[in-house]
Chains A and B, each alone.
Chain A
Amino acid sequence: MTPALPLALLGLTDAAFSGFRAYAGRDARIRKGRANVRAALRGLAVGAVLLLVPALAAVLWLAAAADRDRAYDTLAAGGRGFLLPLTCYAVAVALSLAAYFLLPFRAGTLAMVIGLGPLTLLRPLAVAAGCLAALLNGGGRPSLLVAGLAGAAVLCVEPAVHRRWYREVR
């Protein structure tokens, strides 16, 4: 199975959350539902553009390879490696979010204190672990490059959205 689709889904979901975070803390109004959605869409748009870079790098590398099947297998192995730590991270986030929204507020606080807060700080580490796993899973240098580009793209979404739309407190 090609890991491209789940990777793209994960990357875009992360971009939407990044958009939300870029806006959070910039608007003290109480009712922010629409503004939150708009921020998430902005993150999604920026993420979609930035993620074209690793996608293009992968396509170019495949196009230039002498043995395309082998090159594809190498990239796919790297992609599966990349996916593993990121999936663990995504599951941890999803569980924390579910606990936060579904459980009573005391347990919700717990989900925030030991889940969502620290997980935000651990995001760059999860990306780094993904890159390492891409290499170790037999993806070689091309996978490391593509993974590095994808990781950088994903980590750039929040600062980019923040700088473009949410520099000032409203």
Chain B
Amino acid sequence: MDRLEISDLIVAFDPHDGRRLPVRRAEVVEQLRAAGDARAARIVAGLPAGPDGVLEPAAVDRLLIGVHTELQRLSEELRIGRRLVHLLGPLLTAIRTTGVRGPYRLVDVGCGLGYLIRWLAATGALGPDVELVGVDLDAALVGEADRLARAEGLSCRFVHGDAFALPEAATVYVSTGVLHHFSEPALADFFRAQGASPALAFCHYDIAATGLAPVGAWVFHRARMRHPLGRHDGVASARRAHSDEALLRAAAAAGMRALLYEPRRAANPFCTTLRPVLAVRPPLEAPLRAALGRASRRLLGDEHFTPAAA
């Protein structure tokens, strides 16, 4: 059985209007116990709840903002921004060469505190013709992302919304650390919605599903995160990470050219903590490979994966 992440369970939103729904602490504790995760159950049992047993929204928000702030430190140390630009730079070059006029819009789905978008805005790494937008289902997190962006005078935007309803049209959709939150069927829906939109490409980074990932996640979250919730969810997410094959299969639902960059067979697991599944409109593949140069050998499509390897 997949491990559950506490942060997925202690907040709930109405899928139609994004309204915050009450979460009963006892129900979450029970769910975690039933999944055999006594430690997670204890962590949740220690969270504050009102007399009605509903988890206190303000306390949960504070906790999640704290955990995401620590999570951002991992992204900083692992240089997630640069890793993304390494691929997104050439992708935008490819888009520019095919004659599509700018400005282009990059939308980070499930942006959390918006580190990636704010880092891109602060560094200008993708160029002035790229508009930067972050989207998240969690109003407290996007609110904080927006506050942080304004505090530093960064030119980017944050929007409250659901990944499956795509509140913002994009030229390119991206995400980091979000895919493992979705089941395989949901993942296909997520990609399908992007394929049906006018977007030219998407590029979603998630934890590389290697044997090393849970061990590495344990070491890192132990060394760098303080709250037990962050430590727990860090390891759980590494365990839940989708395999290369599962990602390619799901991405095929978009009806675009689905590719993996630096999958297991093309990269050293010690050097690749997050790797993306991407898809481009078919005419973009050749210019993307040209813009990537030698690095394009790390870009593999489903012809490199045998169907039985799932």
What is the minimal beta-carbon distance from B253 to any residue of chain A, in angstroms? 30
Contact B270 A109 (CB under 8 A): yes
Complex partner residue of A30 from B70, B154, B271, CB under 8 angstroms: B154
Complex partner residue of B69 from A28, A30, A114, CB under 8 angstroms: A28
Measured in the bound complex, the distance between the Cα atoms of B82 and A120 in whole Å is 24
Contact A121 B223 (CB under 8 A): yes
Most buried by A among B68, B78, B222, B271: B271
Contact B154 A28 (CB under 8 A): no
A34 proximal to B (CB < 8 A): no
Complex partner residue of A106 from B68, B72, B152, B271, CB under 8 angstroms: B271
Contact with B along A134-170 (1 / 0, CB 8 A): 0000000000000000000000000000000000010
What is the minimal beta-carbon distance from B142 to any residue of chain A, in angstroms? 13
Measured in the bound complex, the distance between the Cα atoms of B20 and A164 in whole Å is 35
Report 5 cross-chain contacts, Cβ distance below 8 Å, ordered by A residue. A25-B72, A28-B115, A29-B152, A105-B86, A117-B224
Contact B223 A110 (CB under 8 A): no
Contact A25 B225 (CB under 8 A): yes
A112 proximal to B (CB < 8 A): yes
Shortest Cβ distance from A109 into B: residue:
B271
Measured in the bound complex, the distance between the Cα atoms of B79 and A112 in whole Å is 10
Contact A105 B83 (CB under 8 A): yes
B151 proximal to A (CB < 8 A): yes
Question: Could you say which residues of chain A place their CB within 8 Å of the CB of B122?
Answer: 30-31
Shortest Cβ distance from B222 into A: residue:
A121
Measured in the bound complex, the distance between the Cα atoms of B70 and A116 in whole Å is 17
B113 proximal to A (CB < 8 A): yes
A24 proximal to B (CB < 8 A): yes
Number of interface residues of A (CB under 8 A): 23
What is the minimal beta-carbon distance from B305 to any residue of chain A, in angstroms? 23
Contact A30 B119 (CB under 8 A): yes
Most buried by B among A27, A112, A114: A112
Most buried by B among A25, A29, A106, A120: A25
Contact B66 A24 (CB under 8 A): no
Contact B152 A31 (CB under 8 A): yes
A70 proximal to B (CB < 8 A): no
Binding site for B on A (CB under 8 A): 24-31, 105-110, 112-114, 116-118, 120-121, 169
Contact B79 A109 (CB under 8 A): yes
Contact A27 B220 (CB under 8 A): no
Contact A25 B73 (CB under 8 A): yes
Number of interface residues of B (CB under 8 A): 37
Contact A109 B78 (CB under 8 A): yes
Contact A117 B79 (CB under 8 A): no
B273 proximal to A (CB < 8 A): yes
What is the minimal beta-carbon distance from A92 to any residue of chain B, in angstroms? 15
Contact A24 B224 (CB under 8 A): yes
What is the minimal beta-carbon distance from A125 to any residue of chain B, in angstroms? 13
What is the minimal beta-carbon distance from B99 to any residue of chain A, in angstroms? 31
Measured in the bound complex, the distance between the Cα atoms of B235 and A162 in whole Å is 24
Contact B225 A30 (CB under 8 A): no
Given the known inter-chain contacts A25-B224, A113-B216, A118-B219, please indicate yes or no for A169 contacting B272, CB distance below 8 A: no
Contact B223 A25 (CB under 8 A): no
What is the minimal beta-carbon distance from A147 to any residue of chain B, in angstroms? 24
Contact B65 A120 (CB under 8 A): no
Contact A121 B83 (CB under 8 A): no
Contact B224 A28 (CB under 8 A): no
Shortest Cβ distance from A24 into B: residue:
B73
What is the minimal beta-carbon distance from A123 to any residue of chain B, in angstroms? 9
Contact with A along B67-99 (1 / 0, CB 8 A): 011101100011100110010000000000000
Shortest Cβ distance from B122 into A: residue:
A30
